[in-house]
Amino acid sequence: MKEELRNKYKIIRDNIKDKDIKSNIIKNKVINTIEYKNSKVIALYKNLDTEVYTNDLINYALNDNKIVVLPKVIGNTLKFYKTDNKSFTKSKYNIYEPIETDIVDNIDLFIVPGICFDKYKNRIGFGKGYYDRVLKSIKIGICFEEQIYDKKIDTNEYDIKMDKIITDKNIY
């Protein structure tokens, strides 16, 4: 079931229009949350072409004197590195990862990507479990409204639920 949803929502996500406008709406919603305002260290990610654009959010947080960390796949886990949002390399998964070497563990807020989410704050990612193994503290999933599945996603004990999901239309 998850694989079917993953495939269906990748196609939906690929065809979403006005991603730049919608991403800006999502950014503004994120920066106005109490979770963002109360966080000093924020884990973000460099988006794939079809995901919510995160570059403006990263730059906003840096200019807002937040410590921004970005993920890098090391073996079977994600490590988060402090970033200035200037130096990257492409990973084997075609994801931009920071070149920086300062690992940060004390993360206050995770901004989490996903292929789809449901209104119950469950998430489907790429299926490798990288995020599920490292998520602690506050977790906000971001996606376009079209990526919200209208039923409950089947989960298992390893799936980590979000505290909040922010789309261009709603906050769940």
Tell me the pLDDT tens digit for each residue of 9-35. Answer: 999 999 999 999 999 999 999 999 999
Catalytic residue among 20, 159, 163, 168: 159
Catalytic residue among 123, 133, 154, 168: 123
Catalytic residue among 6, 56, 108, 132: 132
Would you say 153 and 124 are in contact if contact means Cβ atoms under 8 Å apart?
A: yes
Chain-wide mean pLDDT for the chain? 93
Model-level pTM?
A: 0.94
Fold annotation for 2-166: Rossmann fold (3.40.50)
The whole-angstrom separation of Cα 15 and Cα 138 is 30
Residue 54 or residue 99, greater confidence: 54
For residue 79, pLDDT over 90 is answered with: yes
Nearest one of 21, 25, 20, 60 to 44, comparing CA atoms:
60
pLDDT band at 47 (very low <50, low <70, confident <90, very high): very high
pLDDT tens digit sequence for 31-44: 999 999 999 999 99
Is 159 a catalytic site residue?
yes
Would you say 108 and 43 are in contact if contact means Cβ atoms under 8 Å apart?
A: no
The whole-angstrom separation of Cα 113 and Cα 143 is 7
Is 132 a catalytic site residue?
yes
Give the DSSP per-residue string, 69-97: EEEEEETTEEEEEE--S--EEE-TTS-EE
Helices 19-31 & 55-63, crossing angle to 10 degrees? 30
